[in-house]
Amino acid sequence: AQTVTQSQPEMSVQEAETVTLSCTYDTSESDYYLFWYKQPPSRQMILVIRQEAYKQQNATENRFSVNFQKAAKSFSLKISDSQLGDAAMYFCALGGGSEKLVFGKGMKLTVNP
């Protein structure tokens, strides 16, 4: 069975600073995808970043980047220059496409002005 673990239920960061959200996973698949989704108070799930497991290069999307450690089954999200609009629930997910997603429990990020 595939599992995703987000061990930190809540974190806070000062505006303009950097924060790292952790995620570990377990799968027996050799080819898979990893995602970070953001859910602000509106509850709309927004794709933040995706990583293909067969790619060694870490994905980057503007202020968001990941540290993908395949051997360790770790997939952390770094948010640089944090903004007030980054405040949300963040979900790490494994799978993708026509295959179902397995979500972590989520982590609430607070951004302090």
Q: Is residue 35 close enough to count as binding other proteins by CB under 8 A?
A: yes
Size of the site for other proteins (CB under 8 A): 21
Q: Which of 13, 23, 25, 37 binds other proteins (CB under 8 A)?
A: 37
45 binds other proteins (CB under 8 A): yes
Q: Is 34 exposed, middle or buried (0-12, 13-18, 19+ CB in 10 A)?
A: buried
Identify whether the C-beta of residue 62 lies closer than 8 Å to the C-beta of residue 81. Answer: no
Buried b (16+ CB within 10 A) or exposed e, 45-59: eeebbebebeeeeeb
**Rule CB under 8 A: is residue 97 a binding residue for other proteins?**
yes
Per CB under 8 A, contacts with other proteins among 67-96 are 91, 96
Question: Which residues are near other proteins by CB under 8 A?
Answer: 33, 35, 37, 42-47, 50, 52, 91, 96-98, 100-101, 103-106
